[in-house]
Amino acid sequence: MIHISSKAQSWSIDIILGVLIFTAAFFVLYSVLYSSSNTSAGSLNEQASLIIKQTAGGNSAVAVVNDNEVNISKFNELKNLSYEELKRMLRVEGDFCIYLEDEKGNLVLINNSYRGVGSPNLNLSGAPCSQK
C-alpha cells in the first residue's frame, strides 16, 4: 500500500497557485502598459493631424499654406504669437513645433533661420524650435 503525504499535496497546490497568480499579474501589467502606450501614440498622431489640417487649411486663422504655397508673412505672424496663445488657437494639449521641409525632408530656411513655430523646449537640428 502506498501512502501519500498531505503535506506534499498542499505544497504542490501552493506552487501552482503562486505561478498562476504571478502569470496573471504579469499579463495584466503588460496589457495596461501596452494599451497606454498605444493610446499615447494615437493621441499624438491625432494632434499632429489636427495641426497639419489647421495650418494647411485656407479657412483657419493659423493657415500658412494656400494652394500648395507657403505664405511667409502668415508664418511670421505665427512666430510673433506667444506659444500659449498659439497652443490655444490650435486646440492641442501636447508640445509641438511647426516647421517646413522640402520634398527631400530637409528643413527649409525662412528669414535666415531654421527655427519653427512652437515650443521652445523642442529642438530642430540642435536648435530650439522657437525663441523663449
In this predicted model, what pLDDT tens digit does every residue of 17-59 receive, in sequence order? 788 888 888 888 877 777 655 556 678 788 888 888 888 876 7
Q: Is 81 helix (H, G, I), strand (E, B) or coil?
A: coil
Q: Report the alpha-carbon distance of residue 41 to residue 39 in Å, rounded.
A: 6
Task: Count Cα atoms within 13 angstroms, Cβ side, for 97.
Answer: 19
Question: pLDDT tens-digit profile of 110-121?
Answer: 777 777 888 888
What is the amino acid identity at position 25? Answer: A
How much is the pTM? 0.60
